Chain A
Amino acid sequence: MRSAVSAILSAPAPESNMSHPDYRQTAHDHAALLIMVRHLGSKLNTRNFSRLYERISKQNSFRIKDSSGSVRTISARFIKSYPIENNEWGDFQTHRRVLGLICVGECTNTQEVSELSKIHESLRSKFSGTLYDSCCLFLGLQHDGTPYVTSAVEHSPKEKQQPVLSKDQENSSISSKTHSTQAESYISPCSDAEEPRSSGISDHDSFDETLTTTNLSNITGKVVSHPSRTLYYPSLDKCVTLETDLQDFVSSLFWVLESKRLVSIGNIDKEKQPFLCAPFERKDLIGMDLESRTHRKRCIGRWRKQVGDLSLQSGLIAEALEHYQAAADVLRPANDWLWLAGAFEGLCAASVTLLYPHLRRPAAIQRNGSLTGEGFNGRIRSNSSGAGVRSLPPDIDTHQHFLKNRLKFKHALGPDEVIEKYHEAVVHYSKYRNAGVIETEASIKAVHVLIEQRKYLSAAEFLQNVVFINLHLSDEEKIQRFTALSELYNQLGFKRKSSFFRRVSAMRCVAPMTTLQPNWTLCYQLLFESISGFKLSLDPGVLSHEHANGWPALQVQILQELTGTARRLGNVPLAIRHASLLVHLLLIQQQQAGAAAILSSQEQAEMAKQLEQLSQRSETPLHPGPLALENGTIIPPVSLTLLPKIVSFKLQPPGAVLAAQRLVPEDEINSGPFLFTPIQFGSFRKQPTRKTQVEMDFQWVEGDRCEVIMQVINPSAYELRVSNMQLLTEDVEFEPETTSVILPPTLDPKTTAPTPVTLSGIPRKPGLLKIVGYSMTVLGLKNHCKLKSAMPFMGSSFFSIHVVPALPRLSVQIASPNHNLITTSESQSVSAASSLQLYAGQSTECSLSLVNTSDASVESFDLELVHANRLSSNQVFSVSIDNLKAQLPWQPGTAVSVTVYVQGASDFLMPAMNDCLTNVHSADDSTSLPSLSGPPSIFSRLSSHTGVTGSPRNKAKRAESLVSVRSGASSVRSGGSSNLRATECHSNSHIAPRTVAALLKLQYSGGPGYAAGFCRSTSVALTVEILPSVIITKWDVLPAETPSHCYLVLDILNATQYEMELQYSSCKHIAIEAQDTCRIPVPVERCPLVKLAHVYTENDLNPEQQLEKIAKICCEHISSLVELKWSISGVSQTSCTSTADGTEYNSPRPIKGKASLSSLRIAPSMLDLLHIPPIQLEIELNQETWSAERAEFVCSVGDVLDVTVNLFNALSKFLGPLNLQIAVYQDLQNGTFHRRLDTRLLTIGSDRALVGKMDPNSSYKHNCGIIFFTPGNYKLDVVCSLQISTQHREAKFNMSYDPIHEQHIWKFVPSVEIIVSEP
């Protein structure tokens, strides 16, 4: 051990210049006793030592009663280490002397105690020149139960060596002893006498023994020895007496100091004082005239200055001020600038102690500890305290304080004077090259005062001066210097300057020219601390907001340096983090409008490439979360949200087919009784949430693939490979699918269109799903991009969407027998669609096959037919699902089918004509013209008096009887023919197929979704094109041969392209050529009165309604009797067949269909023919009852033909007034009737009768006679017309005058044919 110690001690001695500036020194330290606290041995761990040290350093102010009884405040400054070189400046400024030494160790036995004591001794000997007292503090030993420990160390205070001080020393030891007993702690003064000087222990600071000795002799003239003591504590927590022990220790120091002070004061007036000098001055002593007057003055001045120092330290500020002032007065004329400056500084220090008693000491920067993480944290705290400086009370208080002091201390300086003196001192110090450290420290002290005074600019000037002080410093110390400067600038609030120096010191750590090993860790730390000054944040979120005020070039630089340093450190993830932030920052800068790019796009691409290489180097994939450094710093994650840049982010609703719907529509509870109300129910809860999130108005379904479509732009000029893109979700289990995309480089940002990217996934649980962002791998880095940062414009941090429980899925296919017409599509809203082509009247069926393709069974099913365009499609489609519902539930995989019946419904009328008829008919109504028939009627106009009309065109073969009837008619309207032709031509060109569409809505549900009230709906679109087949262009009713029948005469147009066979009654067929029209007479039984009786008997009907009702009843009657069956056989499309008997697939089969007459509009005039009239007419000719079966009645010229007409009211209601008319005419068989027969016959009696009222079931008889003058064929018509009631008549009268106002005209059919022969 001994050899080891000596080896250390023989290490080369450093230069005598003080080269260790203490950047933490303040003016207050001038008044403090410097006590070194050392850590001994390895047993005591650093943490415990630090705790103990903190506890000790808290006690930095002591109140000690001096010999005169007044209380003095003594402050102490504790340090952990102290360079011996600085100690040597103790003559110049006594506060630089280490006065006390406390060694702290832990031991369990005496062996260890003695070992540690040895180390203690060696340390003590190192600083023996200045030490007044020392003590050992051992933890782990009972202070009362270890008596022999004390025996290990001899205690024999060498008081005899201090004859001058003996009295005081005794005092001190006595007082300390009394204190010790009071404190019940074991204190044993311990001497180093037995220990050899050389037995030191390794220390960082080396010293020069001989020099120390000389130095000492300069002070007192003798080697000072002092007592040493040992304190024992069981443990750190149990050292309750530590504070009192400390008090004892300091007071012992104080007494020594006090004695020295008194000796020094005594020396002032003596003839000869020792010549004090600073270490570097010593060599100049040689050859100096020691007897000169100047030298004498110097001696006195310096001595006084030192007395001032000692006074200040021993708490006598007033005396100190006085001594300093006196010293300055002596030294100035002696041109002793160094010591003058020292005196000024002392003056300042004393004044500052008075002015700013609470001048804040900057939080401890540990000289060596700053290299560790602990020190790093400590500094961050000091930043905050530095910032707090600004919030101290204003200087007014100080000023008042000063004025108060001025009375007490007449030499005290004012705030401005302090600065002035400091300035002067610094100027003087600057004259000495070797006093650089003193100058630096003085400047820094001035800076502290200026900070207190809030004169930051002046402070900055002092600091600026510090920068220029040329010191011979090692590289490590240079780094410390810059760091300290940075710290001070930070305290001034000069953040940029602070960052600048921090960066400079960081660069120093790794500068290639230094002798040091590059210290990348320190470099990184310093760089890291400097980023705040460049307005740079490692958090990209903060960065994008605040970076605008930063300096892009500097930010890029510092990030590059950080990246490089991190890489040198071997911390690849960290390097990646910084590099990605750099890439991100460049992109942000690029976004700034008009910002001149700091780096060209090529350089940017290089950065990106570098990042990619880094990410490839990293063995483990980098976790995208925050990165924790060893010292506890958290590096926030950097997401390359701008690479690529998101333009839009849209959640896609599932296809309409797969969308979930509520079984019961919502909102019915909320809406209340009002259609609209400004009061929103539940608005309190809804409103705040709406701001932060975007809620979708659709749902996703558990187990179904859901999509989000993003629009992205590559902002960079290099190709971007984005892979593993997937959604980031919260709250609900979600199975995302990954996508990759390659974005080409963007050359012109203005013209680049965004690329859509689809992100999909499958929700696995129902609930409210939050989509918070997306993750991706770009440049080899995995990124978690939150929407908040990627899309700040969105204003919300996430999207939320409801995921409903799983629902079954049905696949729908429609098949019709005419498979060429099937189309199935997977369009958005319709799962299947089908279009058919049918001829009007044709019918077919389609089969809808449903397969449950999901894992859930279908438990509910409903089908609804929605008619898209017209109600008429109701007649076209029909479906029944009752049998399907019985099969529920459908297990997975089940296939079912629904049959849809399709009917080619049509009204079989000419479309245009139809409209026309309606118009005319309405006109009819308004004018109440019963005899008018619309254009569709074959005979454009019917005379009320003529029962028969002629037809100009070829008649149906089976209509001969009719023709024969007509042959007797007297007049046929001539214009009819041409009119008819015209309408026909017109009609042929206008027959267009009609399209009927309907939507088959299927709603189904099952599984958990059904329980939750959701269902799915799908639709099948059905479109039928109905081609015209048979079209009734015109129709009329003609009287038949018997009163019980009539003929319905139809003009049928074959609108198809094929020959058609038409069966219009049970045994009547007709073949019609394509596009040809045929007229067919259909014998129809007249509508019996039974069906109509109620219409007549109802009282509250006006005539129009009555007519309508009758027409309706008649129409139903006709359609029930008449059915037109058509068939087309020549159709070329072989498969387009309507009935499937399964045998003849290849041969053309006839298309068959039925046309119904239900939509025929029957004119009022036809009506009277169509139904059996309520008034029954009976004709008797010559008292012979005339029946329709008879062909003709023969009479001769000149005879009186007696005509008797019997009217019988078959109704149970009266009718009237009735107008009965008997008319005779001649049918010329060419369409004309000859009615003016005045010369040919004579009517005897009245040929008309007006019956006012006919009671129910009553009869009326009218009689008249006719005499024919000339032979020939005559016809007799008996017409009974029901007249309209008077008030109606008058109302109509005004509108249009018409002589005929009959409502109903009932004729006796057929007309009686009378052959008048020559007598």
Chain B
Amino acid sequence: MAVCIGFIGKENSPLFLRCINQSQELQFHYIMHTCIDFVEEKIIQSNKSGSDVRELYLGLLYSSEEVKAYGFVTNTKIKIVIIIDSTNSLLRDNEIRAIFRKLHNAYTELVCNPFYTPGDPITSKSFGALVDELLASSS
């Protein structure tokens, strides 16, 4: 059960954050924020390994009793983080990868919009609707 989806910019500024329960938003902000540490470390690690084909999916970043956070980083260093409920055992790695792919595609489409400046917070309504849909479907 994905509870929150977030996009983080190249310089680690928040681009977009959407969660099911608005009251938890600040908490998710904190989780996402701390996840950046892991993401950065993982990126450094993968750079060191020097493989050409980089795995975009970063896997589990953080887990606590309540939530688990999975990360994904695009080639342009845009980070996507999905936070899911720890009690949910339905979502396997493959499902999460699929969600990431969809989110990545959505982001690609967003960047294709000439009126969107990369790096700005995302305000697109259609993008928001898409993320909402994913949140709703995966829960």
Tally of contact residues, A, Cβ under 8 A = 26
- Contact of A549 with B13 at beta-carbon distance under 8 Å, contacts A456-B41, A457-B42, A457-B45 already known: yes
Q: Which of B26-34, B95-103, B104-112, B129-137 participates in binding chain A? A: B26-34
CB distance from A1271 to the nearest CB of B (A): 115
| Residue of A with least CB distance to B16 | A596
Q: Do the beta carbons of B41 and A494 come within 8 Å of each other?
A: yes
Query: What residues of B have a CB within 8 angstroms of the CB of A1145 in the complex?
Result: none
- Interface mask (B1-36 → A, CB under 8 Å = 1, otherwise 0): 000000001011110000000000110011011101
Q: Which of B34-69 contact A (CB under 8 A)?
A: 34, 36-38, 41-42, 45, 62-63, 65
Contact of A596 among B33, B45, B123 (CB under 8 A): B123
Complex Cα gap A595–B37 (Å): 24
Q: Do the beta carbons of A457 and B41 come within 8 Å of each other?
A: yes
Q: Do the beta carbons of A552 and B14 come within 8 Å of each other?
A: yes
Q: Do the beta carbons of B29 and A500 come within 8 Å of each other?
A: no
Query: What residues of A have a CB within 8 angstroms of the CB of B118 in the complex?
Result: none
Q: Do the beta carbons of B29 and A553 come within 8 Å of each other?
A: yes
Q: Do the beta carbons of B34 and A500 come within 8 Å of each other?
A: yes
Q: Do the beta carbons of A595 and B121 come within 8 Å of each other?
A: yes
| Residue of A with least CB distance to B30 | A500
Q: Do the beta carbons of B11 and A496 come within 8 Å of each other?
A: no
Q: Do the beta carbons of B37 and A594 come within 8 Å of each other?
A: no
Query: What residues of A have a CB within 8 angstroms of the CB of B42 in the complex?
Result: 457
CB distance from A318 to the nearest CB of B (A): 35
| Residue of B with least CB distance to A595 | B121
Contact of A557 among B14, B26, B38 (CB under 8 A): B26
- Assess whether A71 is interfacial by the CB under 8 Å rule: no
Complex Cα gap A593–B41 (Å): 30
Q: Do the beta carbons of A497 and B29 come within 8 Å of each other?
A: no
Complex Cα gap A457–B42 (Å): 8
Query: What residues of A have a CB within 8 angstroms of the CB of B32 in the complex?
Result: 551
Q: Do the beta carbons of B11 and A553 come within 8 Å of each other?
A: no
Q: Do the beta carbons of A596 and B38 come within 8 Å of each other?
A: no
- Assess whether A333 is interfacial by the CB under 8 Å rule: no
| Residue of A with least CB distance to B32 | A551
Q: Do the beta carbons of A594 and B34 come within 8 Å of each other?
A: no
Q: Do the beta carbons of A593 and B33 come within 8 Å of each other?
A: no
- Assess whether A211 is interfacial by the CB under 8 Å rule: no
Contact of B13 among A460, A550, A593 (CB under 8 A): A550
Identify which of A456, A592, A593 gathers the most chain B CB atoms within 10 Å of its CB: A456
Complex Cα gap A489–B14 (Å): 22
Complex Cα gap A90–B45 (Å): 40
Query: What residues of A have a CB within 8 angstroms of the CB of B41 in the complex?
Result: 456-457, 460, 493-494
- Contact of A494 with B37 at beta-carbon distance under 8 Å, contacts A557-B26, A594-B120, A596-B123 already known: yes
CB distance from A586 to the nearest CB of B (A): 15
| Residue of B with least CB distance to A494 | B37
Query: What residues of B have a CB within 8 angstroms of the CB of A593 in the complex?
Result: 117, 120
Q: Do the beta carbons of A551 and B121 come within 8 Å of each other?
A: no
Tally of contact residues, B, Cβ under 8 A = 25
Complex Cα gap A460–B117 (Å): 35
Contact of B121 among A457, A497, A596 (CB under 8 A): A596
- Assess whether A647 is interfacial by the CB under 8 Å rule: no
- Assess whether A1301 is interfacial by the CB under 8 Å rule: no
Q: Do the beta carbons of A548 and B11 come within 8 Å of each other?
A: yes
Q: Do the beta carbons of A551 and B37 come within 8 Å of each other?
A: no
Q: Which of A820-869 contact B (CB under 8 A)?
A: none
Query: What residues of B have a CB within 8 angstroms of the CB of A596 in the complex?
Result: 121, 123
The majority secondary structure among interface residues of chain A is helix
- Contact of A497 with B123 at beta-carbon distance under 8 Å, contacts A551-B29, A554-B30 already known: no
Query: What residues of B have a CB within 8 angstroms of the CB of A379 in the complex?
Result: none
Q: Do the beta carbons of A496 and B36 come within 8 Å of each other?
A: yes
Complex Cα gap A182–B59 (Å): 66
Q: Do the beta carbons of B26 and A497 come within 8 Å of each other?
A: no
Q: Do the beta carbons of A496 and B37 come within 8 Å of each other?
A: yes
Query: What residues of A have a CB within 8 angstroms of the CB of B62 in the complex?
Result: 464
CB distance from B21 to the nearest CB of A (A): 15
Complex Cα gap A468–B62 (Å): 13
- Assess whether A226 is interfacial by the CB under 8 Å rule: no
Contact of A551 among B33, B63, B120 (CB under 8 A): B33
CB distance from A695 to the nearest CB of B (A): 37
- Assess whether A143 is interfacial by the CB under 8 Å rule: no
- Assess whether A495 is interfacial by the CB under 8 Å rule: yes
Query: What residues of A have a CB within 8 angstroms of the CB of B123 in the complex?
Result: 594, 596
Q: Which of A542-558 contact B (CB under 8 A)?
A: 548-554, 557
Contact of B26 among A460, A468, A550, A553 (CB under 8 A): A553
CB distance from B10 to the nearest CB of A (A): 9
| Residue of A with least CB distance to B120 | A594
Contact of B38 among A460, A550, A552, A592 (CB under 8 A): A460
| Residue of B with least CB distance to A557 | B26
- Interface mask (A450-485 → B, CB under 8 Å = 1, otherwise 0): 000000110010001000100000000000000000
CB distance from B49 to the nearest CB of A (A): 13
- Contact of A497 with B34 at beta-carbon distance under 8 Å, contacts A457-B45, A594-B120, A594-B123 already known: yes
Query: What residues of A have a CB within 8 angstroms of the CB of B12 in the complex?
Result: 549
Query: What residues of B have a CB within 8 angstroms of the CB of A493 in the complex?
Result: 37, 41
Identify which of B26, B41, B120, B123 gathers the most chain A CB atoms within 10 Å of its CB: B41
CB distance from B33 to the nearest CB of A (A): 5
| Residue of A with least CB distance to B12 | A549
Query: What residues of A have a CB within 8 angstroms of the CB of B33 in the complex?
Result: 496, 500, 534, 551, 554
Q: Do the beta carbons of A549 and B34 come within 8 Å of each other?
A: no
Complex Cα gap A596–B14 (Å): 11
Q: Which of A1069-1100 contact B (CB under 8 A)?
A: none
| Residue of A with least CB distance to B31 | A500
Complex Cα gap A496–B9 (Å): 16
Query: What residues of B have a CB within 8 angstroms of the CB of A464 in the complex?
Result: 62-63
| Residue of A with least CB distance to B119 | A548
| Residue of A with least CB distance to B36 | A496
Q: Do the beta carbons of B29 and A554 come within 8 Å of each other?
A: yes
Complex Cα gap A534–B38 (Å): 15
CB distance from A519 to the nearest CB of B (A): 22
Q: Do the beta carbons of A548 and B121 come within 8 Å of each other?
A: no
CB distance from B17 to the nearest CB of A (A): 8
CB distance from B32 to the nearest CB of A (A): 8
Query: What residues of A have a CB within 8 angstroms of the CB of B29 in the complex?
Result: 551, 553-554
Contact of B37 among A495, A534, A549, A557 (CB under 8 A): A495
Complex Cα gap A1124–B99 (Å): 109
Complex Cα gap A551–B14 (Å): 6
Q: Do the beta carbons of B13 and A551 come within 8 Å of each other?
A: yes
Complex Cα gap A497–B35 (Å): 8
Query: What residues of A have a CB within 8 angstroms of the CB of B26 in the complex?
Result: 553-554, 557
CB distance from B58 to the nearest CB of A (A): 11
Complex Cα gap A554–B32 (Å): 11
Q: Which of A91-136 contact B (CB under 8 A)?
A: none
Q: Do the beta carbons of A457 and B38 come within 8 Å of each other?
A: yes
Identify which of B37, B38, B42 gathers the most chain A CB atoms within 10 Å of its CB: B37
- Interface mask (A263-299 → B, CB under 8 Å = 1, otherwise 0): 0000000000000000000000000000000000000
| Residue of A with least CB distance to B48 | A454
Which 9 A-B pairs rank lowest in CB-CB distance, beginning with the nearest? A494-B37, A549-B11, A549-B13, A497-B34, A553-B29, A500-B34, A496-B37, A496-B34, A497-B37
Given contacts A457-B38, A496-B36, 18 further A-B contacts (CB under 8 A): A457-B45, A464-B62, A468-B65, A496-B37, A500-B33, A500-B34, A534-B33, A551-B13, A551-B29, A551-B33, A553-B14, A553-B25, A553-B29, A554-B29, A554-B33, A594-B120, A594-B121, A594-B123
Provide a sorted-by-A list of 29 A–B residue pairs whose CB atoms are within 8 angstroms: A457-B38, A460-B38, A464-B62, A493-B41, A494-B37, A494-B38, A496-B36, A496-B37, A497-B37, A500-B30, A534-B33, A548-B11, A549-B9, A550-B13, A551-B14, A551-B29, A551-B32, A551-B33, A553-B14, A553-B26, A554-B26, A554-B30, A554-B33, A557-B26, A592-B121, A594-B120, A594-B121, A594-B123, A595-B120
Binding site for A on B (CB under 8 A): 9, 11-14, 25-26, 29-30, 32-34, 36-38, 41-42, 45, 62-63, 65, 117, 120-121, 123
